[in-house]
C-alpha cells in the first residue's frame, strides 16, 4: 500500500472513530474520485453498517458545514428523503461530512410519480422571510449568497444572476456589451417572471444528485438549497435531462404552476449556466448569449 493510500485510510478511520467510538473497525472502503474537488468514500464497518464520507482540502471554507445544514433542513421537512448527517468537521487540514450511506436500488414502477409528489411537498415549505436562507452555501464549488429578500425577482436578479455575472466579468469571461444586455434584461424580468411565493428548493436538482434508494424511491444528495422560485428548480431539471414525464405530471397535479412555464425555462437557467461559465469555462457562454439575445 502506498504511503498516500495509507494516510487516506488512517484519515477515514479517524473520522469514523471520532463519531462512532475508538473501537470501531472499518472492514472495507470504496473510493470515489469525481470530477469535482471533493473526494468521497463508502465505508463498511465490521458489523456491515455503511457510511458515506466526503471531504476536501478545506479550501472552501464552511463547505460541508453548509452541506450538512442543507441536508438537515430538507430532512426536517419530511417531504423527500435525503441522507441523514452523522457529523461534519475538520480533521488534519481537511473538511469533511459523514453521512448515512444510500445503497443504490432498482426504481419502483411509480418512482417518477412518487418523486414528483415528494418534490411538490418539499416546495410547499415556504419562508415568512421571503427568498433566501440564513447562511451562505455552495452550488458546486461556487459560493451561493442567500441574503433574504421579500421580493423574489429582486432576489433572483441580485443574488443569483448579478452575483455570478460579476464574477464572470471580473474573470473577463463576459464583456461590456453582454453585461449591458444583462442589465436591460434585469429591467424586463419583473414583467417576464411570476413573482411566486418562496419555496424550499433542493437547488442543484440534476440527475447526478438523484439516487434510487433500496426501497426503489428517490433520495436526493448534494443540495444547494434556499427558499426561491420553484419554477427555477423545475427549469433546472430540464438542463441535463433524465426526468421522466410522470415526474412533471405528478408535480403539476399536486402543486400547479402558472401558464407559460416553458417560455420561462431559459430565463431561470441563466443562473446554472452562469455558474457553469464561472466553474467550468466559456464553453457555456454561447448558451448564455443566445438566451440574453432573445429578450
Ligand atoms: P460532489 O459534491 O463531489 O458533487 P455528490 O454529493 O454529488 O458529490 O456525490 C457524488 C456521487 O456519490 C453521487 O452522484 C452519488 O452517486 C454518490 N453519493 C453521494 N452521497 C451518497 C450517500 N450518502 N450514499 C451513497 N452514495 C452517495
- The full set of domains in the chain, from first to last, is 3-100 (3.30.200.20), 111-293 (3.90.1200.10)
Per residue in 208-261, pLDDT (tens digit) is: 999 999 999 999 999 999 999 999 999 999 999 889 999 999 999 999 999 999
Question: What does the CA dihedral 283, 285, 287, 289 come to, rounded to 10 degrees?
Answer: -160
Q: How confident is the model at residue 35 (pLDDT cuts 50, 70, 90)?
A: low
Q: In angstroms, what is the span from residue 197 Cα to ligand 1's centroid?
A: 30
Q: In angstroms, what is the span from residue 238 Cα to ligand 1's centroid?
A: 20
Pocket-forming residues, ligand 1, beta carbon under 6 Å: 32, 34, 36, 38, 40, 52, 54, 83, 99-102, 208-209, 211, 221-222
User: Quick one: average pLDDT of 47-62?
Assistant: 92
| Spatial separation of the C-alpha atoms in residues 82 and 71, rounded to whole Å | 6
Name the DSSP class of 222. S
What counts of helices (H) and strands (E) characterise the chain? 11, 11
| Spatial separation of the C-alpha atoms in residues 191 and 24, rounded to whole Å | 59
Measured in whole angstroms, how far is the alpha carbon of residue 51 from the centre of its chain?
A: 20
Phi, psi (rounded to 5 degrees) for 209: -105, 15
The reported pLDDT for the residue numbered 186 is 98
| Spatial separation of the C-alpha atoms in residues 217 and 106, rounded to whole Å | 8
Which entry of 204, 215, 222, 293 is annotated as an active-site residue?
204
Per residue in 88-115, pLDDT (tens digit) is: 999 989 999 999 999 999 999 999 999 9
For residue 204, indicate whether it is catalytic.
yes
The reported pLDDT for the residue numbered 34 is 66
Amino acid at each position: 500500500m502506498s504511503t498516500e493510500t495509507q494516510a487516506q485510510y488512517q484519515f477515514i478511520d479517524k473520522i469514523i472513530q471520532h463519531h462512532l467510538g475508538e473501537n470501531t473497525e472499518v472492514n472495507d472502503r470504496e473510493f470515489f474520485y469525481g470530477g469535482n474537488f471533493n473526494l468521497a468514500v463508502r465505508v463498511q464497518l465490521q458489523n456491515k453498517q455503511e457510511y458515506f464520507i466526503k471531504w476536501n482540502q478545506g479550501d472552501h471554507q464552511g463547505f460541508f458545514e453548509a452541506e450538512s445544514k442543507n441536508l438537515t433542513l430538507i430532512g426536517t421537512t419530511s417531504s423527500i428523503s435525503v441522507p441523514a448527517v452523522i457529523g461534519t468537521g475538520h480533521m488534519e487540514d481537511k473538511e469533511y461530512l459523514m453521512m448515512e450511506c444510500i445503497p443504490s436500488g432498482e426504481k419502483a414502477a411509480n418512482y417518477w410519480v412518487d418523486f414528483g409528489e415528494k418534490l411538490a411537498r418539499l416546495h410547499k415549505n415556504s419562508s415568512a422571510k421571503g427568498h433566501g436562507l440564513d447562511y451562505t452555501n455552495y452550488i458546486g464549488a461556487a459560493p451561493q449568497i442567500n441574503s433574504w429578500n421579500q421580493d423574489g425577482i429582486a432576489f433572483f436578479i441580485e443574488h443569483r444572476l448579478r452575483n455570478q455575472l460579476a464574477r464572470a466579468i471580473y474573470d473577463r469571461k463576459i464583456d461590456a456589451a453582454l453585461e449591458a444586455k444583462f442589465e436591460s434584461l434585469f429591467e424586463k424580468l419583473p414583467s417576464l417572471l411570476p413573482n411566486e411565493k418562496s419555496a424550499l428548493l433542493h437547488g442543484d436538482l440534476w440527475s447526478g444528485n438523484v439516487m434510487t434508494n433500496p426501497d426503489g424511491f428517490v433520495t436526493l444528495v448534494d443540495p444547494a438549497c434556499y427558499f426561491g422560485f420553484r419554477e427555477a428548480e423545475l427549469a433546472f431539471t430540464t438542463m441535463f435531462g433524465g426526468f421522466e414525464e410522470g415526474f412533471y405530471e405528478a408535480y403539476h397535479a399536486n402543486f400547479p404552476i402558472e401558464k407559460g412555464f416553458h417560455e420561462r425555462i431559459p430565463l431561470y437557467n441563466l443562473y446554472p449556466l452562469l455558474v457553469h461559465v464561472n466553474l467550468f469555462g466559456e464553453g457555456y457562454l454561447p448558451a448564455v448569449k443566445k438566451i440574453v439575445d432573445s429578450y
